[in-house]
């Protein structure tokens, strides 16, 4: 990691530490305000809404920033944001509502409810398309445009002509086609268009009076719009220094996959209604809705290390500590329901790529102390073991303690990247001596890795241990002669 990045990341915790030290009377709500504003500055987010639910009630509800940059219009609690693919979670609920009425089973093959399917699609189940393990080809092209020029019949003709991508259940691959098929099934079995079914059976019971279907083409009162920090130049994307406009269209037939516009408050009301049994009557339906699909190899598959599984329209955060279901949309909006903690958090933004799912766990830490990064939350099991001992014996003993744990348990392993990440977390928390100790441990374990010396060099430089920092940068160059970052830092240090 570059030194410039390190110092930028350290800004947020410093703000929080300063605030907590100088104003012990800060409430949880005030602290979250400081945190959110810092994240918005760091990620260039124009506008953000947050709602937090505990004990069946909204305990935090706030809006920040600018909804419309062109006219400098502030966001309010009435500002409407696109939730993009969080729409799929509504589709999952709709399918389970039809299942409760006995109109379908999620294990049904597609051919039980739809005609004129390719032979290779017929035995694929509703559950497999809901969870993105179907192998059906995607109805979106490489440039993320929906096939068919907005026409459902043309889109289906195009996608059904494509070959199957893999055997159902073989792997997870995010796919929009299945949700178009689910929309057709909902419309057929409910006797009304799927958008109306979702409006009648979810929006209305949850009291979502502002929520609607739409996209950039529609005139939506109080719409926050969509901004992006990237633009396409040829076949690559270039990152800008400030947000630019983004226009997204979701054809009506595609709106089981994306297309709902809402507010954080109304999304909170939806979560409350769902958990209270107003949308699904049977507790087993909710369990089924939130259970990740199992692949043919017995594992689960998802987007990344955080949202690592996928249930019925709901990505899952499958882990031992504080598991959650976490629908995400457009890299701009996220909703986490913590399954064992009676806590739900909704964050909506108008910046594509702001990725609030990456910091919702940190917000949860304001309500659940052991979820705070500073308390070791999120560390892999072996790092937790190491941390426990180091808190007792001192981080300066890191190398000896790691060797002792390894001798006691030969299966005890410390991953280079995980150690490096933890070191930067400690650095961001201003625990400088601990950070340097972990970087030194990483160097001792991985002495042939240029990156371990580079990280240690950055930490030493930041703490004004300049000669030691230079020695580590020289080691980087020795191992990796073309390393520009180390060369730049050595040049800068020689000028001091």
Given this model, what pLDDT does residue 495 score?
A: 84
Sign of CA dihedral 259, 215, 139, 142: negative
Burial class for 248, CB neighbours closer than 10 Å (0-12, 13-18, 19+): middle
Residue 258 contacts residue 249 (beta carbons within 8 Å): no
Both tokens of residue 273? 């209604």
pTM over 0.85: yes
Given this model, what pLDDT does residue 383 score?
A: 96
Given this model, what pLDDT does residue 25 score?
A: 53
> What is the three-class DSSP state of 134?
coil
Annotated domain spans of the chain: 44-371, 379-494
What string of DSSP letters covers 71-100? TTEEP-TT-BEEEETTHHHHHHHHHHHHHH
Beta bridge partners of 338: 324, 343
CA–CA gap between residue 33 and residue 62 (Å, rounded): 8
Given this model, what pLDDT does residue 362 score?
A: 94
Backbone angles phi, psi at 226, to 5 degrees: -140, 130
Q: Consecutive 10-residue runs of the chain (496 residues): their mean pLDDT?
A: 36 40 64 96 97 97 97 97 98 98 98 96 98 96 86 94 97 97 98 98 98 93 94 79 89 96 98 98 97 98 96 97 97 97 97 96 95 90 95 97 96 96 93 97 97 97 96 97 95 88
Residue 407 contacts residue 442 (beta carbons within 8 Å): no
Given this model, what pLDDT does residue 493 score?
A: 93
Given this model, what pLDDT does residue 109 score?
A: 98
Given this model, what pLDDT does residue 21 score?
A: 38
Burial class for 322, CB neighbours closer than 10 Å (0-12, 13-18, 19+): buried
Using only C-alpha atoms, the chain has a radius of gyration, in whole angstroms, of 25
* Fold for the domain defined by 379-494: 1.25.40
Alpha carbon separation from 327 to 230, 347, 352 (Å, rounded): 23, 11, 15
User: Assign residue 464 a region: left if phi > 0, alpha if psi is -120 to 50, beta otherwise?
Assistant: left
Between strands 227-233 and 351-352, the pairing is parallel
CATH of domain 44-371: 3.40.710.10
């Amino acid at each position: 990691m570059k030194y410039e990045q390190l110092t930028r990341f350290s800004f947020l915790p410093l703000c929080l530490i300063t605030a907590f030290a100088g104003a012990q009377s800060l409430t949880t709500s005030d602290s979250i305000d400081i945190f959110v504003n810092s994240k918005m500055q760091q990620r260039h987010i124009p506008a953000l809404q947050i709602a937090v639910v505990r004990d069946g009630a909204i305990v935090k509800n706030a809006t920040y920033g600018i909804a419309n940059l062109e006219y400098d219009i502030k966001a309010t609690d009435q500002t409407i944001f696109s939730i993009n693919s969080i729409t799929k979670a509504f589709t999952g609920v709709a399918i389970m509502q039809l299942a409760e009425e006995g109109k379908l089973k999620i294990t049904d093959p597609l051919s039980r409810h739809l005609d004129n399917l390719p032979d290779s699609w017929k035995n694929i189940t509703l559950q497999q398309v809901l969870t993105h393990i179907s192998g059906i080809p995607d109805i979106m092209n490489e440039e993320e445009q929906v096939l068919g020029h907005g026409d459902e019949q043309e889109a289906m003709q195009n996608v059904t002509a494509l070959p199957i991508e893999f055997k159902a259940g073989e792997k997870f691959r995010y796919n929009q086609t299945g949700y178009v098929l689910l929309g057709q099934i909902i419309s057929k079995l409910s006797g009304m268009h799927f958008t109306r079914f979702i409006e009648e059976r979810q929006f209305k019971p949850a009291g979502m009076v502002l929520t609607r279907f739409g996209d950039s083409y529609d005139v939506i009162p109080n719409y926050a719009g969509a901004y992006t920090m990237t633009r396409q130049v040829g076949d690559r994307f270039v990152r800008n220094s400030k947000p630019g406009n983004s226009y997204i269209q979701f054809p009506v037939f595609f709106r089981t996959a994306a297309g709902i516009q809402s507010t954080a408050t109304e999304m909170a009301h939806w979560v409350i209604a769902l958990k209270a049994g107003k949308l699904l009557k049977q507790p087993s339906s909710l369990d089924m809705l939130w259970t990740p699909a199992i692949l043919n190899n017995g594992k689960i598959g998802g987007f990344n290390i955080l949202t690592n599984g996928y249930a019925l329209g709901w990505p899952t955060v499958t882990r031992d500590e504080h598991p959650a279901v976490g629908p995400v949309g457009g890299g701009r909006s996220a909703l986490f329901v913590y399954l064992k903690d009676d806590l739900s958090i909704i964050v909506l933004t108008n910046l594509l790529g702001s990725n609030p799912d990456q910091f919702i766990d940190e917000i949860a830490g304001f309500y659940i102390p052991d979820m705070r990064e500073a308390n070791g939350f999120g560390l892999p099991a072996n790092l937790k073991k190491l941390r426990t001992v180091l808190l007792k014996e001192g981080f300066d003993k890191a190398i000896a303690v790691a060797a002792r744990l390894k001798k006691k348990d030969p299966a005890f392993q410390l991953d280079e990247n995980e150690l490096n990440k933890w070191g930067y977390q400690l650095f961001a928390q201003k625990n400088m001596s601990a950070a340097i100790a972990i970087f030194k441990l990483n160097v001792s374990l991985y002495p042939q890795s240029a990156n371990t010396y580079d990280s240690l060099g950055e930490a030493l430089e930041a703490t004004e241990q300049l000669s030691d920092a230079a020695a580590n940068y020289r080691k980087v160059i020795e191992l990796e002669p073309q390393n520009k970052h180390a060369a730049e830092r050595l040049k800068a240090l020689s000028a001091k």
